[in-house]
Amino acid sequence: MLGLAVALAFLALANGACAQACCAGASAMTPGRLELHETALVGMQVLASGAVGSYSEAGRFKAMPQGAAELEFRQDLFASARWFRRGQATLTVPLIESWRRSATTGTELGGGIGDVNVAVRYDALRNRESHLLPGIGVLAGVTLPTGRPPESVKLPLGSDATGVGAVQLSAGVALEQGFGDLLVSVSGLVAKRASRRISGVKSTLGTQLTAILGVAVAPSEVIAAAVVAAYTVEGDASIDDRVVPNTSSRRLRVSATLGLSPSDEWRLHAGLFLDPPLDSLGKNETAALGGTVGVIRSFL
Query: Between these two residues, 95 and 24, which has the higher pLDDT value?
Result: 95
- Whole-angstrom Cα distance, residue 232 to residue 183? 22
Q: How many CB atoms lie within 10 A of CB 88?
A: 22
With left for phi above 0 and alpha for psi between -120 and 50, is residue 130 left, alpha or beta?
beta
Structural domain of 194: 2-299
Sign of CA dihedral 78, 274, 149, 283: negative
Task: Work out the average pLDDT over 226-237.
Answer: 94
Q: What is the mean pLDDT of residues 196-211?
A: 91
Distance CA 300, CA 59 (A): 47
Q: How many domains does the chain have?
A: 1
- Decide: 110 and 160 in contact? Cβ < 8 Å: yes
Residue 237 has pLDDT above 60, yes or no: yes
pLDDT score for 127:
85
Q: Is the pLDDT of residue 180 over 90?
A: no
pLDDT, residue 85, reads: 87
* Of 253 and 131, more confident: 253
Instruction: Judge whether residue 282 has pLDDT over 60.
Output: yes
CA-based torsion, 278, 50, 233, 272: positive or negative: positive
Q: Which residue has the higher pLDDT, 265 or 21?
A: 265
CA distance 124 to 129: 10
Model confidence pLDDT, tens digit, residues 265-278: 899 999 999 999 99
List Cβ neighbours of 253 (8 Å cut-off, separation of 6 or more).
Answer: 229, 230, 231, 232, 273, 274, 275
Q: What is the CATH number of the domain that holds 53?
A: 2.40.128.130
- 43-78 tens-digit pLDDT: 999 999 999 999 999 999 999 998 899 999 999 999
Q: What are phi and psi of 129, to 5 degrees?
A: -75, -25
Q: Which one is predicted more confidently, 232 or 300? A: 232
Contact (Cβ atoms closer than 8 angstroms) between residue 83 and residue 89: yes
The pLDDT tens digits for 71-104 are: 999 999 999 999 888 999 999 999 999 999 998 8
Given a contact cutoff of 8 angstroms between Cβ atoms, the answer to whether 53 and 63 are in contact is: yes
Q: Strand pairing partners for 87?
A: 83, 122
Given this model, what pLDDT does residue 36 score?
79
State yes or no: pLDDT of 260 exceeds 80: yes
E strand intervals along the chain? 40-55, 61-63, 69-83, 87-102, 106-113, 117-125, 135-143, 168-179, 182-193, 196-198, 201-204, 208-217, 223-234, 238-239, 242-243, 249-260, 266-274, 286-299
Q: What percent of the chain has pLDDT over 90?
A: 69
Going from the C-alpha of 300 to that of each of 188, 199, 280, the distances in angstroms are: 30, 50, 46
pLDDT at 199: 84
Q: How confident is the model at residue 12 (pLDDT cuts 50, 70, 90)?
A: very low
- Residues 217, 171: Cα–Cα separation, whole Å: 27
Sign, CA dihedral 6-11-16-21, equals negative
d(CA 220, CA 217): 9
User: How many alpha carbons lie under 13 Å from residue 239 in its C-beta half-sphere?
Assistant: 7
Residue 230, pLDDT score: 94
Task: Say what the pLDDT of residue 31 is.
Answer: 63
What is the percent of the chain with per-residue pLDDT over 70, rounded to a whole number?
A: 90
Out of 31-35, 43-47, 196-200, which region has the weakest mean confidence (pLDDT)? 31-35
Give residue 18's pLDDT.
Answer: 36
Q: Which of 266, 203, 271, 270 is nearest to 240 (CA)?
A: 203
